[in-house]
Structure 1
Amino acid sequence: MVESNQSASLWPHLYEPFSRMGTKLKSLFAPASDASSSDNVYRISVELPGVSEDDIELSAENGLLTVSGEKMEETEEQEGTWYFSERQYGAFRRSFRMPEDADIEQTEAHMKDGVLSITVPRRAPAESRGKKIAVKKA
């Protein structure tokens, strides 16, 4: 019975590296983002450290705003007797369902310090044209 308890405590340690790897993969393929709105604009920020503006595609279709691209990062250092090289590659994609009042045609995007800032203006609410309905006697 003691053996079974020892093997049970071993299992979580075997899976731990895989759980951390999953979190890292998720951040590579679905970058962190946040969204907010005000009376006249929607704002979306997407964290894309190490990604060039040229490697980002922003598209809109059927009310869905999609940020996609590819991260290609290489680090290489050498000093004296040691050498260090690291590469990170991977495609990413993140989509946002925009509300009906979003004017996607007027969307603007700017990249600064590894953060993509997207601004989508809001359309003015359509005026409701009321209609008077006559009530008839049955």
Structure 2
Amino acid sequence: MQIKDMLPWARKDLPAESRSDDDSPIASLQREMNRVFDSFWSGAGRPFGNLPAAFATGAPRTDVVETEDGVEVTVELPGMEEKDIEVTLTDEAVTIRGEKKIERKEEKKGYYVSERSYGTVFRTVPLPSGVDSDKAEAKFRNGVLSVHLPHSSEARAKVKKVAVKSA
């Protein structure tokens, strides 16, 4: 056997192997794992039935924005009413809790259906120092809770602008 026979590019009688990344066993395994996780998290077998996905995970979608006036916390609580929501405030954090109970009974000739779904959501948002908890306000409209936490007058007085100079 000559050296040129051992060089892979010199072999003309064998077809070149072509394997794209999609054909590799690792890529196939990754696709299968993605499919399994996607089907698991897509809501199949959710423990709280028809309640929104936020109730199943326990953490509602939340936006936190700090403005010049204070901190704005916005929480999505679809399907809830004011009576289902509790907002508590400490010096370090604001906690939003909601509990929804849905019961449905249907009875007609030949069958009887009774379904119950219970879900609890909560979210604790850490707060910066200088929030005036006595002036906090919470408003609920169309499934969205907005909590306004104004800065205290002492915190506003401590804010100073720093001049930026070129280096």
TM over 0.5: yes
**CA distance in 1 between partners of 2:34 and 2:74 (Å):** 36
**CA distance in 2 between partners of 1:76 and 1:117 (Å):** 33
**Alignment partner of 1:101: what SS?**
coil
Counterpart of 2:40 (choices 18, 40, 44) is 18
Runs (4 or more) in structure 1 with deviation over 6 Å come to none
- Name the residue aligned to 2:83: 54
Structure whose residues are more often strand by fraction = 1
Report the RMSD for the aligned CA atoms in angstroms: 3.5
- Name the residue aligned to 1:42: 71
Q: Which has the larger radius of gyration?
A: 2
1:2-33 alpha-carbon deviations (Å, 9 max, x no partner)? xxx6x9565554443212239x7862111101
1:92-112 alpha-carbon deviations (Å, 9 max, x no partner)? 110111111111121110110
**2:100 paired with 1:71:** yes
- Name the residue aligned to 1:136: none
Counterpart of 2:130 (choices 78, 94, 101) is 101
Counterpart of 1:111 (choices 140, 147, 151) is 140
**CA distance in 2 between partners of 1:19 and 1:48 (Å):** 20
Q: Percent identity?
A: 31
Q: What number of residue pairs does the alignment pair up?
A: 122
Query: TM-score under structure 1 normalisation?
Result: 0.67
What amino acid sits opposite 2:85 in the alignment?
I
What stretches of structure 1 of length at least 5 have no aligned partner? 78-83, 129-138
Q: Shift of residue 86 of structure 1?
A: 6.8
**Alignment partner of 1:21: what SS?**
coil
